[in-house]
Amino acid sequence: MARALLHPAPKPLVFVLSLLPFAWLVYGAFADKLGANPAEYLSRATGDWTLRFLCLTLAVTPLRVMAKLPTLQRFRRMLGLFTYFYVFLHFLTWAWFDQGLDPGEMGKDIAKRPFILVGFLSFLLLTPLAATSFNRAVKAMGAKRWQALHRIVYAIPFTAILHFFWMRAGKNDFAEVAVYAAILAVLLGWRVREALRRRKGVGVAARAQATSRPS
């Protein structure tokens, strides 16, 4: 499996597969297959795919560690950029179809509706991560500052789920919200457990080193 993942073919394959939802939406828009309210369909579909790619991006590290496949890491950046690609489309459908690309109306809607505010916050949080996802940005910022910035990704599941929850609250439909919340809770919970385990390991090692020193 590790050798297969190192082959040049998987990356283009993942790229093409990640574009398929977008290709379907473009086809559906031109072929009039998006239902009676295409704008609502596009907004919902792009929001759903943002959440799916966010889950996939956050799943890379746990899968890499548990399956002992370090080569999986090479797909995380691409999946993260597709998360931003779909959240940008989600933002664009709202800004274009709902607000007519009018900055004043957009500002009023953000201030008036909490679920729009939280969704816009998720978009803003993802923007610097996408903008600094390239090797040049890592070199320019330095590894420590780059890593500190990219820890923002752990806040995004909370704002994204809250946005989704408030959006579905009007229809009293929380089934999908619960599914995504459970997946993201597991992925973040794994990271918390690993961080506590590492901290405990460092503490044990430090105590062992201290007791081994001659008095």
Domain residue ranges in the chain: 2-212
Task: Determine which of 22-36, 53-67, 183-197, 201-215 has the lowest per-residue pLDDT on average.
Answer: 201-215
Query: What is the maximum alpha-carbon separation in the chain?
Result: 81
CA atoms of 55 and 57, how far apart (whole Å): 5
Global model pTM greater than 0.75: yes
Q: Euclidean distance between the first and final Cα of the chain, in Å? A: 51
Distance CA 171, CA 44 (A): 14
pLDDT digits (tens, 9 = 90+) for 123-162: 999 999 999 998 888 888 898 888 888 888 899 999 999 9
Tokens of 28: 């559906």
Q: What is the pLDDT of residue 214?
A: 59
Q: Hunting for tokens 């959440």 — which residue is that?
A: 51
Q: Residue with structure tokens 């977008």?
A: 22
For residue 204, pLDDT over 80 is answered with no
Q: Which tokens hold the place of 1?
A: 């499996």
Q: Alpha-carbon distance 213 to 211, whole Å?
A: 6
DSSP alpha helices (H): ranges in the chain?
Answer: 2-6, 10-30, 38-66, 76-93, 103-112, 114-131, 135-141, 143-150, 156-169, 175-212
- To the nearest whole percent, how much of the chain has pLDDT over 70? 93
Q: How far is CA 161 from CA 4, 39, 131, 142, in A?
A: 35, 21, 23, 31
What is the mean predicted confidence (pLDDT) over 18-31? 96
